[in-house]
Amino acid sequence: MSDINQKEGHECYTLGSPSTRDWFLRQWAIWPERADKDKTTNISFHYGALIACREDGNVEPTLSPQFRTNVEWFDNNQD
């Protein structure tokens, strides 16, 4: 399930509109609070999008301390 969520997040960031990318940036900075009450805060989904952001050549975005902890775990435990 985590792999599927990561793939979907990656695709959503990669194929998304500028407003979608903006939502990710806002969400990462305040996670686990919601930037939009109708959109997910699923960690795997957001991590997949963060990978896409990194691949896009952007600088590391602002991450909330809670989200950063999860990102560090994912970074250290990917196959």
Please write the tens of the pLDDT for every residue from 33-79: 999 999 999 999 999 999 999 999 867 899 999 999 999 999 999 86
DSSP state of 41: -
What sign results for the dihedral spanned by CA atoms 6, 59, 30, 71?
positive
Tell me: the pLDDT tens digits for 15-44? 999 999 999 999 999 999 999 999 999 999
Give the position of tokens 């960031």: 13
Q: What is the pTM of this model?
A: 0.93
Alpha-carbon distance of 23 to 9, in angstroms, equals 12
